Amino acid sequence: MITLHGIPNCDTVKKARAWLDANGRPYQFHDFKKLGVPEAGIAAWIAAHGWETVLNRKGTAWRALDEATRAGVTDAASAAALMRAHPSLVKRPVVAWSDGRTTVGFDAADWAQRR
């Protein structure tokens, strides 16, 4: 089973969910706002993709942080702690595919190759 992690009102998550639905790919949705960021998940995502990829530094949530908080993110541990405290800082969507691999972000061409 595919698990799509994200926030329901995120435009990229909406596109990803629409793509999965249109392509007949059943999935479970893990809502960061309601369920939080899974502790084991965030560690695995960072290990697989690097904290720089998993931490969304382009969104409004990042820009809303004060400069000291942003400057305090210097490694995987500090990034993970901040993402747990502010789920909107996780780049979305994070997808756990049925083969055990994960992806960060939405890429329709890449997703079409996955089974």
Catalytic residue among 4, 7, 10, 82: 10
How is residue 113 written in tokens? 């190759």
10 is catalytic: yes
Q: Is the peptide bond before 26 cis (omega within 30 degrees of 0)?
A: no
Q: In the structure encoding, which two tokens stand for residue 103, read together? A: 């992806």
Q: Please answer whether residues 7 and 57 qualify as being in contact, where contact means their C-beta atoms are separated by less than 8 angstroms.
A: no
Catalytic sites, residue numbers: 10
